[in-house]
Structure 1
């Protein structure tokens, strides 16, 4: 049975057997994993609390590309253009051991997902071509793991921090919906001040109304006469 890429992703996450062929879209796969996470993180009042886990996702994407570049470099069936791209990629990865730079602004805006998708895009076509030519998993002539199995293992490395981040987002949302310590302290001080004012007002005696003066009384008697 041939599964769609979305179905293959779910099977991979459930540790079921998958087979990636020439129709595999690397950019679509990474986008499907990171785009929903980026949108949910950006919706948090304080998204930067999840930065450590986002950095793990970015590192996993970099490791994924390292695996893909290695697979392409080992392939003997690349055309000259693909070979040149692979050589440049091997050189670039050696010079840039860390994942693409993700800034605080990228996290707040959700832009970090697009950065990771753009990072994998140059290898999309060459990887699909390689998978289209490769032997299927468990083929008798396969020397070691097949290309599909190597890609599957690299995607599982990405699945782990992505799953962890998806788990942490609702927990962070619940915590951030509660008042902060600063807000609690400010409310407590405001309540104390209001109570102090009420106590001060309670101690103030109301002024007695003034009694009518003699002049006023005499004028009243004269008017009666």
Structure 2
């Protein structure tokens, strides 16, 4: 990278210089998972999201992507349990899932096969690239479920609930759209409650039960089950996009 581009925070390609701190790959994939990636991923991957494919950052045609259905967005779908559950419950919507962790992508693909859902699309990469190209006010609902907690104070800026991520997310969401956040980390709750409203959302809770109880259409994920086993309390926060 040239000195000028380094100063401006950009790659020579024009892409912003974005640090990525999460895992990209974990344990060795099973043969079946390798098969899912080889056979299914290309068809389900949304094209022209990465900077290499789309350096001009041309907007996605979300109407063409899902045939005009309402669009939901899940940031970091983990193993895909929630995304597939919602797709099966709501065939009238299209769900975009972003996840750079290839093991999670492989798990999602297996669940898609089992559930036989056809209203999902994947970006196997950084959600920030997806938010770059989603049209303004195109998303009807968004989910951030058990995101990386980054518990050390010096790492809190890596959390998704910072203005770096929330402002672009808010721009993609329609006025009145719902943003759900679930976490078992108390300090993540604090940061969520401080930062999300700054980005143009209002918290919809009217009492403690609104964050203590899961949503009516919720499915418990492996991350939540681990939290409960380790005696951490899940929090379910619902925000509405102002407009």
- TM-score, normalization: structure 2? 0.19
Highest relative contact order (Cα 8 Å, sep 6+), 1 or 2?
Answer: 1
Instruction: Report which of the two structures shows the higher radius of gyration computed on alpha carbons.
Output: 1
- TM-score, normalization: structure 1? 0.20
Determine which structure has the larger strand proportion and give its number. Answer: 2
Determine which structure has the larger helix proportion and give its number. Answer: 1
